Chain A
Amino acid sequence: MSRRYLTIWFRHLTTDQLAIRKPELKGEPFVLAAAERGRMVVKACSAAAMDKGIEAGMVLADARALIPNLEVLDDHPLRGEKLLRALAEWSLRYTPIAAVDLPDGLILDISGCAHLWGGEGPYLKDILSKLRKPGYEVRAAIADTIGASWAVSRFGKISPVIEPGAHIDALQSLPPAALRLEAPVLDRLQKLGLYQIRSFINMPQRVLRRRFGQDLLNRLDQALGLVSEPITPIQAIVPYQESLPSLEPIRTATGIEIALRKLLEILCQRLFREGKGMRKGVFKGCRIDGELQQIEIGTNEPVRNVGHLFKLFELKIATIAPGLGIDLFVLEAPVVEELSIQQESLWAASNQEHLAIAGLLDRLAGRFGANTIHRYLPDQHHWPERSIREAKSLQEKPAIDWPEDQPRPLCLLPRPERIQVTSPIPDYPPMLFIYKGTVHKIRKADGPERIEREWWIEQGLVRDYYRVEDEQGARYWVFRSGHYHDAEPEWFIHGFFA
């Protein structure tokens, strides 16, 4: 049986997607640009921008000269590929074999699929209308070979559906660029006046090989179907979902717990086989009256331990209202992450302890929200507010040592507070300061430690920090904002030493 291929071409893949996501960009000229060799280069442009003469590969400054109020957005190198993968997964509803054709196309092997839609014409129409509806500008073609359908989808002018065996005729009038050739080969063909495939398709092979290389012959053979062209179909990930129907509707908490435990065991076995762990879990119960009850959990790190996950769900089981009974339980893991068999543990000497702490943190996060848990690592800034950053995970180790050269207070005020001071001598610590109505006479002082503001982040005055001790023996961290010569330097208290 002969094979049939469908090739889809997205003319403005990434820009169309952006316009779908941000409707205000629809119909506007805008480009995606990225730095390349020290200048900004247009990577993709919208249809409106293309109409005005902008094309990919142009320097951004030139594009701006054409359209002064051009909207410029940052391009991400993997944006197109990710999007194509998602679209390929979507197209699995039309055929089991779909492949990504970088940079802007999809290849579907539709052998034996089209009759389900009542023929190739309606089949193609259905796909195109579904893609065009949200706003993608697409062209597609069906032919016996990938090469022919690629050529017709890009350059075809008559019919997108090439009947079986007719692809050779269809190729005749197309330009050589339709054969997916390298630019130097195309240039040479152009110079020799071979503007259409028909002008060289019947030339002897050795002549073509000598003048244009083996590549042209390969591409020609592929388009004609003389050699087969392999494609790499994408593998869709089966969703992490398990369901458990029950014969009798379940109404008790014990019954729900048994169902949850069974589902967790099945799902965790699969996670174990695939070396993954759950980050987010949803447990649903379908009631016999049609209502859906669900509880959700999140974890701080990937987990596939039944007991741990069960404890997290257990806290929320009480919120399930079983009504007249639940007859179908579904457990989903919408977010999973890699989890190596032997997770290295920084936190505790034994893995057991590490798991216990992770379990505790998950319970706390489940009750109060994940943003209540913080862990800090040193950051390469001297400015005190920026000298720490939040750790991304429990495993993350400090990249630099904690600085010890300068004293840092144990308690820091959320923001520095104004104090009144008496400071008679320039660049000396104050003699006394008034904080919250109390006068503190300073007995000892260290400093100043000048901390410059990081001008590349924000503008402002420098800080001269002093460590001072008052007559009660309490130790404070105070600073003067700006230089002493400034008219009225302001003083602030920023922290307390132990």
Chain B
Amino acid sequence: MEAAANKSEIIEKLKKDILLMQGFSAVLDHGRPDIGLGPMEKAFPNHIFPTAAVHEFVSANASSSAATTGFMAGLISHLMKTEGTCLWIGARRQLFPPGLKAFGISPDRVIFIDLQRERDVLWAIEESLKCGALTAVVAELKEISLTESRRLQLAVEKSRVTGFLHRCNPQKTNPIASVSRWEISPIASNLEAGVPGVGYPRWNVELQKIRNGKPGSWQLEWSAGRFSHLTTVATSNTFIQQTG
């Protein structure tokens, strides 16, 4: 019995050591950032959303791109709290700053870098990820190779900045050196019975890959400035409803 307990203890310790070697140490020591994902956080290593890492988001079309942007904005608002700065880098930006307000980000705290060419984006991302004063860096780009993504990973390990790579409609989803890969798609919103109109944004969040964690799929809603989990799948309303 004692030996068994020892064994599990040793395994637990070894696991932690491995995580430490992989650069997840600072998160354990500092106050854990409350990302507000609730039960979903069990999927992450140490049950903590990995900051100081590069997350990859893949979207296929304009509407899922908007959903991905919304989900990212929700995460960033928790990271930024009231006093962070976020950099938004891209070559063909569609983001409408006032839309960020609904996700708890004051749009004037976001600095947009609108570049002409896709290949400039990589240089700008790497340079920004090296700047430890930023809270988060969001980059919208199409293609990135494994080698290029490794450089980004090295940059965040030093600066402890969280990077979000949003790959809109990539030609091929090649593996890159990111801590996770997400795919977000919108699902039908639901209001209480009898209330007409469009409800709060809802997404199907698919965590396809997470280093040292368990991938999975969840359905989330963004309401009143935080994420909440859906217990039942929303049934779509068949009537056209109108307000106003």
Contact = CB atoms under 8 A, between A and B. Distances in A.
The reply to whether chain A is a binding partner of chain B is yes
Interface of A: 347-349, 352-354, 356-357, 359-361, 363-364, 367-368, 372-378, 384, 387-388, 391, 394, 397-398, 402-404, 407-414, 428-429, 431, 442-449, 467-469, 471-476, 495-498
B114 interface: yes
B114 A374 contact: yes
A447 B98 contact: no
B108 A397 contact: yes
B63 A496 contact: yes
B127 A360 contact: yes
Contact of B66 (A376, A384, A443, A496): A496
A240 to B, nearest CB: 28
A395 to B, nearest CB: 11
B228 interface: no
A217 to B, nearest CB: 62
Nearest 6 A/B pairs, CB to CB: A498-B70, A474-B63, A496-B66, A412-B96, A353-B133, A356-B133
Interface string B178-208: 0000000111110000001111011100000
Interface SS, B side: mixed
B62 interface: yes
A348 to B, nearest CB: 6
A387 B101 CA distance: 13
A372 B115 contact: yes
A388 B124 CA distance: 25
B198 A496 contact: no
Given A352-B133, A469-B189, A498 B103 contact: yes
Nearest to B88: A374
Contacts of A388: 97-98, 107
A411 B197 contact: no
Interface of B: 62-67, 69-71, 73, 83, 85, 94-103, 106-108, 110-116, 120, 123-124, 127-128, 131-134, 185-189, 196-199, 201-203, 222, 236-238, 240-244
Given A360-B131, A374-B112, A447-B244, A469 B198 contact: yes
Contact of B108 (A348, A361, A391): A391
B212 to A, nearest CB: 29
A444 B102 contact: no
Given A375-B111, A498-B103, A498-B201, A348 B83 contact: yes
16 contacts: A357-B111, A364-B124, A372-B116, A391-B108, A408-B101, A409-B66, A410-B69, A410-B70, A411-B65, A412-B99, A443-B238, A445-B198, A469-B198, A496-B94, A498-B99, A498-B186
Contacts of A412: 94-96, 99
A413 B65 CA distance: 13
Given A353-B85, A356-B131, A428-B240, 9 more contacts: A363-B127, A374-B111, A388-B107, A410-B100, A429-B240, A443-B238, A447-B243, A475-B186, A476-B63
Given A473-B187, A473-B189, A497-B66, A387 B98 contact: yes
B189 to A, nearest CB: 6
A96 B3 CA distance: 96
A368 B115 contact: yes
Contact of A468 (B67, B100, B115, B198): B198
Given A353-B133, A443-B238, A469-B198, A408 B99 contact: yes
B96 A411 contact: yes
A357 to B, nearest CB: 5
B186 to A, nearest CB: 5
Given A367-B123, A429-B242, A475-B189, A498 B69 contact: yes
A391 B201 CA distance: 30
A44 to B, nearest CB: 42
A496 B62 contact: yes
B166 to A, nearest CB: 11
Contacts of B70: 410, 497-498
B231 to A, nearest CB: 17
B194 to A, nearest CB: 13
Contacts of A431: 240
A372 B128 CA distance: 14
Contact of A444 (B203, B222, B237): B237
A397 B107 CA distance: 11
A183 B111 CA distance: 58
Given A347-B85, A410-B96, A474-B186, A445 B110 contact: no
Contacts of B243: 446-447
B58 to A, nearest CB: 16
Contacts of B110: 375
B198 A364 contact: no
A497 B201 contact: yes
Contacts of A364: 113, 124, 127-128
Residue of B73, B107, B108, B199 most packed against chain A (CB within 10 A): B108
B123 A375 contact: no
A469 B46 CA distance: 38
A408 B198 contact: no
Contacts of B97: 376, 388
A294 B111 CA distance: 31
Contacts of A472: 63, 186, 188
B102 A408 contact: yes
Contacts of A394: 111
A442 B239 CA distance: 9
A408 B98 contact: yes
A413 B112 CA distance: 16
Contacts of B241: 444-445
A299 to B, nearest CB: 15
A31 to B, nearest CB: 43
Nearest to B132: A356
B101 A473 contact: no
